[in-house]
């Protein structure tokens, strides 16, 4: 499978991206530690560095080489990635129906009253101004 285009970040890549999104940027060591902390990952430091290198090649992360320990940061925003993966899921398992995904998300995970209100507000907005809401991220 040629991966550069049209395909999602892999499992581990996603974990690393999450770390970078949250920290805004980190050294290889920091990423490695966060990775180890997040789960019983117990991988070699070299592995993390390699992953970062691979992701750099794929264009998933950026790197500031001027810094003493190099600083890595995500190349794509979390929102853009979310949108991409969400669309993918909808196509692949919901037969393209965003509606059924939303309904299922609402029904299967118990939402708080505040959250429901939030959704309602979003609905109001959508219904009021039915504009081709730009995909600004």
Interface contacts to a copy of itself, rule CB under 8 A: 14, 18, 78-79, 81-83, 85-87, 89-90, 92-95, 98-111, 113, 115-116, 118-120, 122-123, 126-127, 130, 132-133, 135
- The torsion angles phi and psi of 61, rounded to 5 degrees, stand at -130, 160
- The torsion angles phi and psi of 26, rounded to 5 degrees, stand at -160, 160
- Contact partner at residue 62 from a copy of itself, DNA, none, CB < 5 to 8 Å by partner kind: none
Segment contacting DNA (CB under 7 A): 45-53, 76-84, 101-109, 112-120? 45-53
User: Is 68 near DNA (CB under 7 A)?
Assistant: yes
User: Is 54 near DNA (CB under 7 A)?
Assistant: yes
CA distances from 125 to 122, 131, 135 (A): 5, 10, 16
Locus of tokens 């925003």:
77
User: Is 11 near DNA (CB under 7 A)?
Assistant: yes
Q: Which residues contact 83 (CB under 8 A, 6 or more apart)?
A: 135, 137
Bridge partners, residue 63, by sequence: 72
Binding site for DNA (CB under 7 A): 1-3, 7, 10-13, 27-29, 41, 43-47, 49-51, 53-54, 68-70
């Amino acid at each position: 499978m040629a991966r550069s285009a049209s395909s999602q970040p892999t499992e581990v890549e996603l974990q690393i991206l999450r770390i970078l999104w949250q920290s805004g940027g980190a050294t290889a060591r920091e990423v490695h530690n966060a990775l180890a902390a997040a789960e019983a990952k117990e991988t070699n430091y070299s592995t993390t560095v390699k992953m970062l290198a691979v992701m750099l090649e794929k264009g998933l992360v950026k790197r500031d080489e001027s810094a003493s320990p190099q600083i890595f940061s995500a190349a794509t925003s979390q929102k853009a990635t979310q949108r991409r993966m969400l669309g993918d899921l909808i196509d692949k398992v919901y037969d393209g129906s965003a509606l059924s995904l939303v309904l299922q998300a609402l029904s299967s995970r118990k939402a708080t009253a505040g959250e429901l209100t939030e959704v309602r507000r979003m609905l109001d907005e959508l219904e009021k101004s039915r504009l081709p809401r730009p995909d600004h991220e």
